Amino acid sequence: MRLSQYFLPTLKENPAEAQITSHRLMLRAGFINQTTSGIYTWLPMGERVLKRIDQIVAEEQDRIGCHRITMPTVQPAHLWQESGRYEDYGKEMLRIKDRHDREMLYGPTHEEVVTDLVRQYVNSYRQLPLCLYQIHWKFRDEIRPRFGVMRGREFYMKDAYSFDIDMDSARTAYEKMYNAYLRTFARMGLKAVPMRADSGAIGGDLSHEFHVVADTGESAIYYDKAFENLTEADYSMEKLGKLYAVSDEKHDPATCPISDDQLVSRRGIEVGHIFYFGTKYSKSMNLKVAGPDGKPIYPEMGSYGIGVSRLVAAIIESSHDEHGIIWPEEVAPFRIGLIDAKNDAQTQAISEQLHERLTNACISVLYDDRSERAGVKFSDMDLIGLPWHVIVGGKTLTAGTVEVKNRRTGAREDLTIDALINKFLGD
């Protein structure tokens, strides 16, 4: 991709409305644009990151046997009247009337729609367990939208819903999801701490929140140091459930069971929330299946959210420096930023050749071919934070090499063009 032809509207100045790093950087680096309070347009760079996160989330949901669907954003009110939540949900719900004066709403969540869907098709225990998910836009008329996409009004969420024949099977579904969440966040280069939570408005008896550690997190969290070095072998709800991890309200230094040197006190961004709530919706919405003995059973349900658009901001909060964003490779909008640092005939020819070869090898590359000064190109590339910068120019060119910089470590090496292609092909 040529930067000269790309839509990447970067800002020179810090936008005054942005209070936290991720919001500031997303605006400055041209990832998002605010349409109105809490509602954003995702610009090409932001869109690429959002879709990469979408893909990782989807792969991990598919891996545990959930099936992706897309439910409507606009829902009829009668489903919520049936479940009894229409009045309770309050002002966060955007209520709309259609031309026939029918009450509609923009979905803040989808328990009702999915329960209605499943009751139309599932009537035997043989069709369970079932887990359906979507990754789609939600609207919640938050009282205080803030911090950019961190707390938006319209936001992109993964929401999954599980249906099981009994509590044991529901618990297995819940645990599979718990493990999938740890894998999902780890793949994005994030440290996520799961903690027991009150299930809040949705109601129910088992719930965990997943927090990413970052200084600007909305809530103070306290947890066992052991969470900082988890490997996949540790992903057991039973094992991790024994470790201390609580939010502010539940932390009491007097009764905290672990020693000060084992206790970490940080701030957290909630990026995921899972609930088991039993038969709340299956009963209120009359979703019944025939059990093995022919008697009707109300399926046990759970719902499982990941804030996909919030994750973009959370990743930036946990991965940036004073020059800009540092994208983990797994979610980066492009893998390589190619910089023609001299704009002369020779550097241009080499850059063009590199751009073509990398593109042909399916290595994503953003090529800064603008006729800007090298300094401007370097600082823009640091700001947008692509993991690798390839710099054509400077002294190394006479030796037939280009310079490769790792955005995170700052480490630089000189490589011939062939060695460069091999480096990225090999990874």
Q: Which residues bind ligand ATP (CB under 6 A)?
A: 109, 140, 142, 151-152, 155, 157, 270-273, 305, 307, 309-310
By beta-carbon proximity to ligand ATP, the closer residue of 71 and 341 is: 71
Cβ of residue 146: shortest distance to ligand ATP, in angstroms? 9
Backbone dihedral angles phi then psi of residue 273, each to the nearest 5 degrees: -150, 125
By beta-carbon proximity to ligand ATP, the closer residue of 159 and 164 is: 159
How many angstroms from the chain centroid is the CA of residue 416? 37
By beta-carbon proximity to ligand ATP, the closer residue of 54 and 270 is: 270
Helices then strands, counting H and E runs in the chain, come out as: 11, 23
By beta-carbon proximity to ligand ATP, the closer residue of 33 and 359 is: 33
Q: Which residue is nearest to ligand ATP (CB)?
A: 307
Cβ of residue 41: shortest distance to ligand ATP, in angstroms? 16
Cβ of residue 373: shortest distance to ligand ATP, in angstroms? 38
Cβ of residue 20: shortest distance to ligand ATP, in angstroms? 13
Cβ of residue 412: shortest distance to ligand ATP, in angstroms? 37
By beta-carbon proximity to ligand ATP, the closer residue of 3 and 160 is: 160
CB 6 within 8 A of CB 294: no
Give the residues across from 148 on adjacent strands.
Answer: none
Q: State the DSSP code for 302.
A: E
Region at 245 (left for phi over 0; alpha for psi -120 to 50; beta for the rest)? beta
Backbone dihedral angles phi then psi of residue 224, each to the nearest 5 degrees: -70, 135
CB 122 within 8 A of CB 153: no
Cβ of residue 19: shortest distance to ligand ATP, in angstroms? 15
By beta-carbon proximity to ligand ATP, the closer residue of 142 and 372 is: 142
Cβ of residue 209: shortest distance to ligand ATP, in angstroms? 7
By beta-carbon proximity to ligand ATP, the closer residue of 272 and 387 is: 272
Burial of 123 (0-12, 13-18, 19+ CB in 10 A): middle
Cβ-proximal residues to 90 (8 Å cutoff; 6+ apart), any chain = none
Cβ of residue 109: shortest distance to ligand ATP, in angstroms? 6
Q: CA neighbours within 13 Å on the CB side: how many for 305?
A: 22
By beta-carbon proximity to ligand ATP, the closer residue of 13 and 249 is: 249
Asked whether the CA dihedral 210, 112, 162, 158 is positive or negative, the reply is negative
Cβ-proximal residues to 376 (8 Å cutoff; 6+ apart), any chain = none
Amino acid at site 243: L
CB 8 within 8 A of CB 369: no
